[in-house]
Amino acid sequence: MSQAVTSSVSSSEPLDLIKFCLDEQIYLKLRGGREMVGRLHAYDSHCNIIISDAIETIYYIDKEDGEMKNTKKKSDMIFVRGDSVILATDATNVETN
């Protein structure tokens, strides 16, 4: 017995959107021109976040040619303090470059 397709499920709290990403790949935009993608392990109400197998991308402007470049850093497990988090979303929502 199938229900109407139009019905949907809701999230009741803003942080539920982060909760949905538990154990999934999450994308974080951080202060200081950084991005981070990894598997979400834990988060709290301050948006402190622990992710594993994280790849951090640091964007910077090259002094010589003035172009924007980036470097990547890998971490097995990393704690991201909440006050540096600008944006957090399911990594599938973000086109990886």
Binding site for other proteins (CB under 8 A): 1-3, 5, 7-14, 16-17, 19-24, 45-46, 90, 92
User: By C-beta, is 29 or 39 nearer to other proteins?
Assistant: 39
How far apart, in whole angstroms, are the C-alpha atoms of residue 60 and residue 42?
29
Q: Minimum distance between the CB of residue 48 and other proteins, rounded to whole angstroms? A: 12
How far apart, in whole angstroms, are the C-alpha atoms of residue 19 and residue 95?
21
Q: Minimum distance between the CB of residue 66 and other proteins, rounded to whole angstroms? A: 38
User: By C-beta, is 17 or 61 nearer to other proteins?
Assistant: 17
How far apart, in whole angstroms, are the C-alpha atoms of residue 1 and residue 11?
25
Closest CA to 29 of 95, 91, 78, 87: 87
User: By C-beta, is 7 or 71 nearer to other proteins?
Assistant: 7
Q: Minimum distance between the CB of residue 38 and other proteins, rounded to whole angstroms? A: 14
How far apart, in whole angstroms, are the C-alpha atoms of residue 38 and residue 58?
15
